[in-house]
Amino acid sequence: MTEKELLAVACEQFLGKNVQDIKNVVLQTLEGHLRSILGTLTVEQIYQDRDQFAKLVREVAAPDVGRMGIEILSFTIKDVYDKVDYLSSLGKTQTAVVQRDADIGVAEAERDAGIREAECKREMLDVKFMADTKIADSKRAFELQKSAFSEEVNIKTAEAQLAYELQGAREQQKIRQEEIEIEVVQRKKQIAVETQEILRTDKELIATVRRPAEAEAHRMQQIAEGEKVKQVLLAQAEAEKIRKIGEAEAAVIEAMGKAEAERMKLKAEAYQKYGDSAKMAMVLEALPQIAAKVAAPLTKVDEIVVLTGDNNKVTSEVNRLLAELPASVHALTGVDLSKIPLIQKATGVQV
């Protein structure tokens, strides 16, 4: 040992001795402890459990050699034997037992190996079946996936074909629309050309036919209107002349009537004493003259046309004139004929 205290003990025990002497001391010490331990164990324990035997020797001998400054680093029993072959007999028995156990172990091992081989084969078959099943499942899944892919490819192909056809139809439609637009433009241009041609023809007709015809019609219309205006003016002048003549003659008659009325008035005042009969006689004498004076302008008229849609209108006009006669006589003479019974009966005027 290298510790200072133990090194001092070792120096005290072995200083001055050679290595062999030190070995002999240590060997005798270990042999003594070995013999003491052998007395506590059976031969079977010593033979069968050598490690335990060596462990006990180390535990018992270590303190003693330690007090000499020596440390047991390793202690091993190489062999155990005796002079009467007891231990070898135990070895044979043990060998037989071991052989038996070995044969049994071999048989059990072979049995276990067979069982294990069968189990392995069964497991192998199970694994193979599972592998085949998985392969079949994988194959089925592959076929299904392949069918799904094929179906998807077919669908995509059909969709692409349909899209192509639709696009082609759209392009054809666009082309047709453009053709229609071109036709429309051409038609518009044709219509514009025809319109221009119609306008040109119309202008030509206007210049060659319509305007001369319109000029001639306008000239004829102006002539007709002039003739019409001429006739109207002549008629108006004639009517105005007749009206002026009538007014002049009426004014003369009125003046004569007033003079005659004044004369009659004077006569009436002079002959008031004669009463109504005298007045009647006077009026009756004056009426033919008044009628002649009133009718005098009409003698210069060739024809008088009474415009009416009713045949009874003439009669009603005559009756109206007769009814207005007393008023006219009263205005001219101051004599009210309607108050005379004989005149009332003749004219139908009642007071």
Encoded tokens for 123: 């497991």
Say which residue the tokens 């008044």 belong to: 290
For the chain, what is the mean pLDDT?
A: 77
Region of 134 please: left (phi>0), alpha (psi -120 to 50) or beta: alpha
CB 296 within 8 A of CB 282: no
Q: Residues in the chain, how many?
A: 351
CA 285/CA 260 separation, integer angstroms: 11
CA 338/CA 347 separation, integer angstroms: 8
Say which residue the tokens 């009603």 belong to: 316
Quote the pLDDT of residue 267. Answer: 67
Quote the pLDDT of residue 349. Answer: 42
Quote the pLDDT of residue 350. Answer: 42
Q: How many CB atoms lie within 10 A of CB 186?
A: 10
CB 268 within 8 A of CB 279: yes
CB 339 within 8 A of CB 292: no
Amino acid making up residue 248: A
* Closest to 70 in 3D by CA, of 20, 18, 9: 9
CA 154/CA 160 separation, integer angstroms: 9
H or E stretch at 249: helix 211-270
Domains of the chain as residue ranges with CATH: 1-80 (3.30.479.30)
Quote the pLDDT of residue 347. Answer: 44
All residues at 6 or more sequence positions from 329 whose CB lies less than 8 Å from its CB, including other chains: 283, 287, 290, 335, 337
Stretches where the chain sits below pLDDT 70 are 87-88, 90-91, 94, 209-210, 213, 264, 267-268, 270-284, 294-295, 298, 301, 303-326, 328-351
Quote the pLDDT of residue 18. Answer: 92
Quote the pLDDT of residue 346. Answer: 46
CB 19 within 8 A of CB 26: no
CB 79 within 8 A of CB 23: no
CA 28/CA 31 separation, integer angstroms: 5
Render pLDDT for 220-237 as a digit per residue (tens, 0 to 9): 877 878 778 778 778 887
Quote the pLDDT of residue 308. Answer: 58
Q: Return the exposure string of 24-56: e unless at least 16 CB atoms fall within 10 Å of the residue's CB, then b.
A: ebbeebbeebbeebbeeeeeeebbeeeeebbeb
Encoded tokens for 293: 């004076």
